[in-house]
A = this chain, B = another copy of it.
Amino acid sequence: MTEPIELSPVDLEILRVLQNDARTSNKELAAAVGLAPSTCLDRVARLRETGVITGQHAKVDAAKVGRPLEAFLFVQVRPHRRPLVEQFVEHLLALPEIRAVYHLTGPDDFLAHVATTSAAELQRLVLDELTSRDEVARVHTNLVFQQWQGGPLLPPDGEPAQGARIRRRGR
Contact = CB atoms under 8 A, between A and B. Distances in A.
A156 B99 contact: no
Max chain B C-beta neighbours (<10 A), residue from A15, A22, A115, A117: A22
Contact of A4 (B63, B95, B143): B63
Contact of A101 (B66, B98, B147): B147
Copies in the complex: 2
Contacts of A4: 63-66, 68
A53 B93 CA distance: 22
13 contacts: A3-B64, A4-B63, A4-B66, A5-B65, A19-B58, A23-B56, A55-B59, A55-B169, A66-B155, A93-B148, A101-B147, A104-B145, A105-B145
Minimum-distance CB pairs A-B, first 5: A18-B58, A98-B150, A106-B142, A103-B145, A66-B155
Interface of A: 2-5, 7, 15, 18-23, 50-68, 72, 89, 92-96, 98-106, 108, 111, 113, 115, 117, 121, 140, 142-157, 160-161, 166, 168-169
Contacts of A63: 2-4
